[in-house]
């Protein structure tokens, strides 16, 4: 299985690089059908390699080479990595096929798909990383590979947004790098171990170690959109192509989540941080972000920017669950990783359909949009119900576990403040998502039905939307198998 894992990592990267080289050599003429066939085959073969790797029973660990005497580039796929890599694969393949139609609207398709494939491979490598240094290398590569997706249209706002994304990400990465230096001082072997190992080694956590871990919480929290380093998200999303916004918001922000889980639960150990100022500061920042993101989304009129602020809020649900450091909260956090990925990808792809078919970007202009594209807006509506957390949609399940994790945590004020903030955020989420549905399907008596034109997209765009919507709802209706799998992961980390 290790050969299959390496192939799953490097096949999309090499496929993307070849496409980028081809785009440099052929600026005048592009055979679009051949390009899309090539990209589609790359998506499907990568997905097949990922599935075979995850489901296979052979060895899933390999040292690629040694950076230094005692620091290998090491890959090892465990249950947590398998969960993330499957979610990422579903999202990237779905949004990728959606792009076949959408990118006619944006142009420069070879370049877009080239960087899209490279970033896909880098994310798979991130999920399969077996130690902290390997993960950090691919974490940095992910930023560099995904930045061109933000600046794709080469306008001044897009370039400035991409630079902001780069600067914020690099600042976060350097904060995290400082933490890696300190952790390496305590243990030269930073291989991931379920439950962590530094907590058992450190006799009463030293101040420097706690400072280093807090720097890593802030640093990796940048990618996850945690306050106060969240501002790149609402800047990048409105200018990026909608498929790029979809994967940025649904999976790339989860790279920060994955990195935090690896640091806290696979290197440091939750016992090292439990009850310290680092845990309390992390919970405070997470809850501030949940509330602030929801409020800003509620006030925002630009649709994609509204969804970006929503991501700021929703990903911090996950961070709050991680900061509680108990099994129920961890289960809720990992469930929300999965549900939010599918839901938010659906919402951003819906925004892409509306922009592609109508050119409208402001929610005030969406009156009657449900009459023009009913299937698309029904997909949006079902995904919205999941994000709000209305049962039996999937978001209800994850928020239930998060609330239970907070209530049983015994962390004084946070045991009740957390659920209160989550409930207020859910109300605000309903306030900024459902008006689109209401205006779309109930435009009012003065709406000009005579001018109504059906604008439903092609199957290239519609099928990914429907698939992701089914996952968003279906995983809430039948949550058992996924929940049991995630409970096993959570139990092994405490």
> Does the structure show a pLDDT above 60 at 29?
no
> Does the structure show a pLDDT above 60 at 204?
no
pTM for the full model?
Answer: 0.93
Q: What is the pLDDT of residues 298-337, one digit of tens each?
A: 999 999 999 999 999 999 999 999 999 999 999 999 999 9
Task: Judge whether 454 lies within some domain.
Answer: yes
> Does the structure show a pLDDT above 70 at 449?
no
Better-scored residue on pLDDT, 69 or 245: 245
Q: For residue 2, what pLDDT is reported? A: 81
Q: What is the pLDDT of residues 326-382, one digit of tens each?
A: 999 999 999 999 999 999 999 999 999 999 888 888 888 888 888 888 999 999 999
Question: Of all helices (H) and strands (E), which one includes residue 424?
Answer: helix 414-441
Percentage of residues of the chain with pLDDT beyond 70 = 96
Q: For residue 26, what pLDDT is reported? A: 60
Q: Minimal CA–CA distance to 195: which of 97, 43, 96, 325?
A: 325
Q: For residue 28, what pLDDT is reported? A: 42
Better-scored residue on pLDDT, 328 or 31: 328
Identify the band that residue 157 occupies on the pLDDT scale cut at 50, 70 and 90. Answer: confident
Instruction: Tell me the average pLDDT of the chain.
Output: 90
Better-scored residue on pLDDT, 435 or 187: 435
Q: For residue 202, what pLDDT is reported? A: 57
> Does the structure show a pLDDT above 80 at 30?
no
Q: For residue 259, what pLDDT is reported? A: 95
Q: Minimal CA–CA distance to 88: which of 134, 32, 31, 126?
A: 126
Please report the beta strands in 331-447, taking only residues with DSSP state E, as ranges in sequence order: none
Q: What is the pLDDT of residues 87-135, one digit of tens each?
A: 999 999 999 999 999 988 788 888 999 999 999 999 999 999 999 999 9
Q: Domain range holding 362?
A: 274-494
> What is the total count of domains within the chain?
1
> Does the structure show a pLDDT above 60 at 203?
no
Tokens of 55: 């489901």
CA atoms within 13 A on the CB side of 376: 31
* 442 dihedral zone (left: phi>0; alpha: psi -120 to 50; beta): beta
Task: Judge whether 314 lies within some domain.
Answer: yes
Instruction: Give 220's contacts (C-beta < 8 A, 6+ positions apart).
Output: 139, 172, 176, 256, 259, 260, 263
Better-scored residue on pLDDT, 11 or 56: 11
| Residue 11 vs residues 5, 120, 266, 330: alpha-carbon distances, Å | 10, 10, 28, 33
- Torsion 278-175-246-307 (CA) sign: positive
Task: Judge whether 392 lies within some domain.
Answer: yes
Task: Judge whether 366 lies within some domain.
Answer: yes
Tokens of 287: 């809850």
Cα–Cα distance, 318 to 323 (Å, whole number):
9
Helix (H, G, I), strand (E, B) or coil at 70: coil
> Does the structure show a pLDDT above 90 at 258?
yes
């Amino acid at each position: 299985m290790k050969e299959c894992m390496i192939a799953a990592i490097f096949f999309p990267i090499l496929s993307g690089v070849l496409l980028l080289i081809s785009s440099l050599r052929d600026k005048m003429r592009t055979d679009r059908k051949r390009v899309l066939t090539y990209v589609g085959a790359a998506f499907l073969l990568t997905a097949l390699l990922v599935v075979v790797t995850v489901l296979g029973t052979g060895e899933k660990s390999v040292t690629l080479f040694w950076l230094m005497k005692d620091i290998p580039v090491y890959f090892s796929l465990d249950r947590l990595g398998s969960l993330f890599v499957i979610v990422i694969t579903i999202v990237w393949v779905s949004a990728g096929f959606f792009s076949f139609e959408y990118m006619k609207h944006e142009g420069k398709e070879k370049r877009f798909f080239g960087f899209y494939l490279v970033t896909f491979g880098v994310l798979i490598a991130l999920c399969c990383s077996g130690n902290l240094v390997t993960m950090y290398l691919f974490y940095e590569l992910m930023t560099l590979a995904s930045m061109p997706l933000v600046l794709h249209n080469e306008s001044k706002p897009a370039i400035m947004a991409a630079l902001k994304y780069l600067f914020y990400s690099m600042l976060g990465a350097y904060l995290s790098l400082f933490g890696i230096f300190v952790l390496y001082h305590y243990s030269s072997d930073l291989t991931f171990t379920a439950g962590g190992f530094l907590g058992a080694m450190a006799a009463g956590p030293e101040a420097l170690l706690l400072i280093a871990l807090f720097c890593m919480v802030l640093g990796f929290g940048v990618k996850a959109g945690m306050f106060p380093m969240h501002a790149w998200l609402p800047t990048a999303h409105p200018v990026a192509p909608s498929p790029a916004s979809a994967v940025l918001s649904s999976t790339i922000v989860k790279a920060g989540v994955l990195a935090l889980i690896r640091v806290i639960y696979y290197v440091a150990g939750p016992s090292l941080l439990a009850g310290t100022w680092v845990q309390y500061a992390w919970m405070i920042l997470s809850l501030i972000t949940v509330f602030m993101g929801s409020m800003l989304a509620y006030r925002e009129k630009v649709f994609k920017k509204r969804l970006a602020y929503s991501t700021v809020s929703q990903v911090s649900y996950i961070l709050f669950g991680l900061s509680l450091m108990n099994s129920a909260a961890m289960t809720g956090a990992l469930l929300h990783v999965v549900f939010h990925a599918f839901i938010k990808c659906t919402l951003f792809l819906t925004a892409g359909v509306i922009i592609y078919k109508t050119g409208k970007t402001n929610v005030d202009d969406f009156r009657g949009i449900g009459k023009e594209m009913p299937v698309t807006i029904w997909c949006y509506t079902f995904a919205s119900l999941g994000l709000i957390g209305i049962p039996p949609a999937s978001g209800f399940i994850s928020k239930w576990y998060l609330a239970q994790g907070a209530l049983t945590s015994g962390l004084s004020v946070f045991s009740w403040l957390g659920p209160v903030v989550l409930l207020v955020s859910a109300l605000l989420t309903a306030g900024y998502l459902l008006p689109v549905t209401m205006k779309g399907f109930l435009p009012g008596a003065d709406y000009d039905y005579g001018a109504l034109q059906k604008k439903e997209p092609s199957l290239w765009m519609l099928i990914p939307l429907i698939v992701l919507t089914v996952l968003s709802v279906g995983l809430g209706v039948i949550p058992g198998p996924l929940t049991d799998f995630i409970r096993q992961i959570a139990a092994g980390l405490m």
